[in-house]
Amino acid sequence: MTDPLKIWIIIFFLGVGTYLIRFSFLGLVGDRKLPKWFTQHLNYVGVAVMPGLIIPFLVWPDATGGALDAPRLIAAIAAFGIGMWRRSALWSVIAGITTLYTLMYILG
């Protein structure tokens, strides 16, 4: 059983810290102009962060004890391809979930 005080301390500082991270630029920079080279890099924030968040789940899925898993890999490719082609998160989610469940059902 974890000490309740430790839990509260973690909740408090994780909450405050996370808020300050989110507030940082948006709150403090406001309408001041950012240098051009800086905003040019910012255009790539999404594609620089999110693929990196995805890859460990694909290469070492927890559910299979860390072994590459064909249904997960193919579902990920389907979700990515369809999402890019349709430029749509909805189609990406639908493609990913249907592919995963279909393959898991077939391969049992």
Partner 1 sequence: MNINPTSSKSAFWLGYRDNIPFWLIVAPFGMLFGAVATEAGFTIIQTMIMTSFVVAGSSQFTALTLLQDGAPTLIILATSLAVNLRMAMYSAALVPHLGRAPLGMRALFAYFLVDQSYATSINAYTDNPEMTLIQKCRYFMGSFTCLLPVWLVSTYVGALIGAKIPPEYALDFAVPICFIALSAPMMRSLPHFMAALVSMGGTLIFISAPYSTGLLIAALLAMIAGVQTENWLKRRADND
Which residues ranging from 65 to 94 are in contact with partner 1 (CB under 8 A)?
72, 75-76, 79-84, 87-90, 92-94
106 binds partner 1 (CB under 8 A): no
Q: Which is nearer to partner 1, 1 or 67 (CB)?
A: 1
Residues 38-67 that bind partner 1 (CB under 8 A): 38-59, 61-63
Q: How many CB atoms lie within 10 A of CB 78?
A: 20
Output the smallest distance, CB 34 to partner 1, in A: 6
Residue 17-36 contact track with partner 1, rule CB under 8 A, x = bound? xxx-xxxxxxx-xxxx-x--
How would you write the chain as a 3-class SS string? CCCHHHHHHHHHHHHHHHHHHHHHHHHHCCCCCCCHHHHHHHCCHHHHHHHHHHHHHHHCCHHHCCCCCHHHHHHHHHHHHHHHHHCCHHHHHHHHHHHHHHHHHHHC
7, 66, 68, 70: residue in contact with partner 1 (rule CB under 8 A): 7
